[in-house]
Amino acid sequence: MILALIGLFAWTILRQQSRPSEVDTSLSSADRPSLPPTESRANGGDTNVDLSVAVNQLFSSLDPSRPENQYLPEFAKERILWITTQKKAGKLSIILLKNTDNTNLYFEDVMASGIVEGKPMIVINGPRFLDFLLEGERTSPPFTQRERNDFAMGLVHETVHLEKDNTANPANFQDRLAEELRAWRKVDLNVVRQMRRLNQPMNPRLIEVDDALRSCDDKADCELLREILSPTEQTR
C-alpha cells in the first residue's frame, strides 16, 4: 500500500541530543533527503525492535481502566478510550510508517494525523518512534513513566486534530500553524498542566509550551507559543 500522506497535522517533540547534520532546516523540504534515522540504530545496540509490537504494547499500557493509570487527567483517559473504541469499530486506523517518504512529515515528528480518503488516521513515524524508545531506554514493557506520558500526550494531541473544530487546510502554513496553536493549547490546559502538577516526567518541549502559555495568561493568541511552533511547521 502506497499512501501519499501530505495533509497531516503532526506532533513534534525534540530529541534529547539533536544531530547537527539532520537539524539543518535551511534545506527546503524538496531538497531535504528522506531522513536516514538509522544512526541511532547503529549506535543503539538493540536494533531488533518490532515497532508495531512496541506501538501496541505502549498503547495497551495506557489503558485508562488500569489502576496505575488513574493519575491520567480525565481528558486524556477519554481520548485514549475514544481511540480504542473508534479503532475497534473500524472508524480509525493507526498506521506505522517505515519512513517519511511521500509524507509532509518532519523527521522530528513522532506522530501525525489526518483524514485520508475520508477516514481518520493516526500515523506513527517509525524511525522517530524507534529513537523515542531508545532514548527512553525501554523498547518493551515495562515502559518508563516518561515514555508512557509522552506517548499518551502525543495521542491526545492527535485526537484534538481529528475533532470537528479543526477546519484548517493542512497545505496552508498559516492554517496549519493556527491549528497547532489550538491543539497544543488545548492539550496543555487539559492534560499537561495537571501532569506537571503531579510532577510527572515529560518531554521538555511540553514544559516549554506550558511556560509560554502561562506567560500569555493562557490566551489563545500567544506570540511566544507561535515562536516555539513556527520553525517545525515551516519545514513541512
Q: Catalog residues that contact Zn ion under the rule CB under 5 A.
A: 9, 11, 180, 183
Please state the closest distance from residue 154 (CB atom) to Zn ion, in A. Answer: 9
In the bound state, the residue with its beta carbon closest to Zn ion is: 9
**Toward Zn ion, which CB reaches closer, 11 or 59?**
11
**Toward Zn ion, which CB reaches closer, 125 or 139?**
125
**Toward Zn ion, which CB reaches closer, 11 or 143?**
11
Instruction: Concatenate the DSSP letters of all residues of 207-231 into one string.
Output: HHHHHHHHHTTT-SS-HHHHHHHHH
Q: How many CB atoms are closer than 10 A to CB 141?
A: 11
Please state the closest distance from residue 92 (CB atom) to Zn ion, in A. Answer: 16
Please state the closest distance from residue 66 (CB atom) to Zn ion, in A. Answer: 27
Contact 155, 146 (CB under 8 A): no
- Give ∠ CA 167-171-173 in degrees, rounded to 5: 90
Instruction: Concatenate the DSSP letters of all residues of 3-53 into one string.
Output: --B-S-EEEE---SS--TTT--TTS-TTTSPPP-TTHHHHHSS-----HHH
**Toward Zn ion, which CB reaches closer, 180 or 188?**
180
The backbone region for 169, taken as left when phi is positive above 0, alpha when psi lies in -120 to 50, beta otherwise, is beta
Q: Which residue has the cell 495506557?
A: 62
**Toward Zn ion, which CB reaches closer, 113 or 149?**
113
Please state the closest distance from residue 39 (CB atom) to Zn ion, in A. Answer: 25
Q: Which residue has the cell 492554517?
A: 175
CA distance 236 to 218: 27
Please state the closest distance from residue 161 (CB atom) to Zn ion, in A. Answer: 6
CA distance 192 to 200: 9
**Toward Zn ion, which CB reaches closer, 54 or 160?**
160
Please state the closest distance from residue 158 (CB atom) to Zn ion, in A. Answer: 7
